[in-house]
Amino acid sequence: MAWRKSSMCMVPNETCVEIDQHGDDVLVRNSKDPAGPVLRFTLDEWAAFTDGVKAGEFESAVAARHL
């Protein structure tokens, strides 16, 4: 597999998201736990998620965690 770290992961030793495409699925894992659980998304699900991120659909959820 060819895992890639998020482009937003710029600090060494920080927990980052890694992704890999495996056939028609996108796999997501925690970079600090490569042997740990892996989330599996279809290409359509991944596209919907990344489109939502770009559109700011999750910003209120992130802001609420930091209150």
Buried b / exposed e along 15-31 (16+ C-beta atoms within 10 A): ebebbeeeeebbbbbee
The one-letter code for the residue type at 23 is: G
Predicted local confidence at residue 38, as pLDDT? 97
Q: Which two tokens stand for residue 4?
A: 């890639």
pTM > 0.85: yes or no: no
pLDDT of 67 reads: 55
Tell me the pLDDT of the chain (67 aa) as tens digits. Answer: 799 987 777 777 777 889 999 999 999 999 889 999 999 999 999 999 999 989 999 887 656 555 5
Q: In what order do the strands lie in the sheet with 25-30?
A: 4-5, 17-22, 25-30, 39-42
